[in-house]
Amino acid sequence: MGSVTRRTFGLAAAGTLALSALPRRSKAAPAKLKVGVLLPRSGLQALIGQSCQKGADVAPELLQQRLGVEVELMNADTESNVDTARSRAERLIEQGASVLVGAFDSGHTSAIAQVAEQRGVPLIVNIAAAPQITEQGYKFVFRNFPPAPEIGRNGLVLLGDIFREAKVEPKTAVFMHVNDTFGQSMAKGVAALLPKLSLPFKVLDTIPYDPAARDLSVEVSKAKATSADLLLLVCRLNDAIAVRREMVKQRWSPMGVVSPGSPGLYEEQFSKNLGKYADYCITNTVWFNPKNDITHAFAAAFKRRFPKDEFAFHGINATYTFDAILIAADAFKRAKSTDHKALAEAIRQTNIAATDRVTFGGPIKFNAKGQVEGNASVVLQNLRGKPTVVLPKDYAEAKLVFPMPKVG
């Protein structure tokens, strides 16, 4: 057996080095996409967070069927707290999440967006309307949800469609709004936009109210005293119930109760608490597209997974969360990689047709800021205890009822 000389050792070493310098054969495409889902499943926003989570829970099975992509969810509870949201995002990244999805609340989402940007991990916002989230110049933050001013503008524009469809024009309106950050920003938007939209009514009075008020009888009595034809209402859930309850007690029946894009009127607890008095209230808001095949498939999968839940009451939360994961899965399929940069680039190139998404709007395409433009709103009316799309006509599930029947 010959000994290893310096020459043969040198040759072997050079050969080893040369081999290691050769381009490696590319690894097989990763088998699955790990999606970190951040939602407020406990604390003050628990009800909404759990509703969003249901949309996420349905996603892996449906996306496997439709896109052939395996998605693994890594769920994290933000506990309705900004600091927890930030630390949970950090932990998900440490644990190997390829992409983050969340987080319903604008404050939580802003905190997570900072983490995502610093760590270079793509974040797809499911729901959060604060405009600044996509105004920071972030490269890894994407949002398929309209910012608040767009929701307000779409909601007000649809008022005209309601009057044209019903062939009835209210001449006067009274505007009641919850007096918190959200309500005040909506109020400013309404005040700025109304004069530009040539709507037929004049706003007689604007009545802000305390979101924590125990009793709204005085506020409703003041609104009733204006004898306005229409009540424009920017509300949240509990105050929406209190306002409607007082309207019935005070036997005030305007032509309609319309929200230009706030929560409250279309929620399950509103219908449960008020029964028949919840019917005919209208919200102009983002929603799911009831005509798309993928929506039917999603609704069926949702029903199988959560048989006790009425799908319509999860109309925004579950569907926007599902679509966020759909965007991630679609990008993964094209990128064939879980590399954060490659995924971010693929998300940027997203082009999902309007018919291939669950939520209502045009194709999902991100602009340079990472914002999807063209997310539309629908006119949603409570009919037989359920929020129902009544306009645009092509997507309507039932006929609009306006003016609403009188109480008592």
Partner 1 sequence: MPAVSDLANAAVSGVLTGTVYGLMALGLSAIFGVIRLVNFAHGELMTVAMYTAVVAFQRLALDPFVTMLGAAVAFGALGYALQRGFIGRFIRRPEHAQMLLMIALAMIIGNALLLGFGPDARNVQTDYQLDSFAWGALLLDKVRVYAAGAAVLATALLAAFFRLTLTGKAIRACADNPLGARVAGLPVAHLYAVTFGLGAASVAVAGCAMVPLIDVTPGLGPGFTLLAFVIVILGGLGSMVGALLGGVIIGLSEALAGVLIAPSAKSMVSFGLLVVILLARPQGLMGAGRR
Q: How far apart are CA 245 and CA 258, in angstroms?
A: 15
Asked whether position 232 contacts partner 1 by CB under 8 A, the answer is no
Nearest distance, CB of residue 107 and partner 1, angstroms: 18
The verdict on 172 binding partner 1 (CB under 8 A) reads no
Within 22-105, residue ranges assigned H as helices are 46-67, 82-94
Residue 358's closest CA among 386, 391, 398, 317? 317
Q: Report in angstroms how near the CB of residue 84 gets to partner 1 at its nearest.
A: 16
Verify binding: residue 215, partner 1, rule CB under 8 A: yes
Q: Which two tokens stand for residue 235?
A: 């509300």
Nearest residue to 350 via CA among 369, 321, 328:
328
Q: Does 50 bind partner 1 (CB under 8 A)?
A: no
Strand order in 70-77's β-sheet?
A: 70-77, 32-39, 99-102, 123-125, 141-143
Q: Is 236 in the site for partner 1 (CB under 8 A)?
A: no
Task: Examine residue 48 and tell whether it contacts partner 1 (CB under 8 A).
Answer: no
Most distant CA atoms of the chain, gap in Å: 109
d(CA 246, CA 163): 26
- By CB under 8 A, is residue 179 in contact with partner 1? yes
CB 235, min distance to partner 1, A: 14
Examine residue 214 and tell whether it contacts partner 1 (CB under 8 A): yes
3-class state of residue 253 by DSSP: coil
Alpha carbon separation from 146 to 357, 359, 361 (Å, rounded): 15, 12, 10
Shortest CB 75 distance to partner 1, Å: 19
191 binds partner 1 (CB under 8 A): no
Binding-site member from 12, 29, 191, 218 for partner 1 (CB under 8 A): 218
Of the two residues 248 and 342, which places its CB atom closer to partner 1 in the complex?
Answer: 248
- Return the number of other C-beta atoms located less than 10 Å from residue 119's C-beta: 15
State both tokens at 152.
């307000």
**Helices marked H in 253-292 — which ranges?**
268-274
Number of residues that bind partner 1 (CB under 8 A): 32
Among 85, 207, 282, 343, binds partner 1 (CB under 8 A): 207
Near partner 1 by CB under 8 A: residue from 119, 139, 222, 369: 222
Residue from 12, 192, 212, 300 touching partner 1 (CB under 8 A): that is 212
Minimum CB–partner distance for residue 238 and partner 1 (Å):
5
Provide the CB-side half-sphere exposure for 43 (13 A, CA): 14
With CB under 8 A as the contact rule, the residue among 277, 303, 341, 356 that binds partner 1 is 277
Q: What is the dihedral of CA 123, 126, 127, 133, to 10 degrees?
A: 20
Question: How far apart are CB 359 and partner 1 at their closest, in Å?
Answer: 26
CB of 248 to partner 1, least distance (A): 4
d(CA 84, CA 112): 10
164 vs 249, which CB is nearer to partner 1?
249
219 binds partner 1 (CB under 8 A): yes
CB-CB neighbours of 204 under 10 Å: 17
User: Which residues form the interface with partner 1 (CB under 8 A)?
Assistant: 43-44, 46-47, 179, 207-210, 212, 214-215, 217-219, 221-222, 224-225, 237-238, 241-242, 245, 248-251, 269, 273, 275, 277
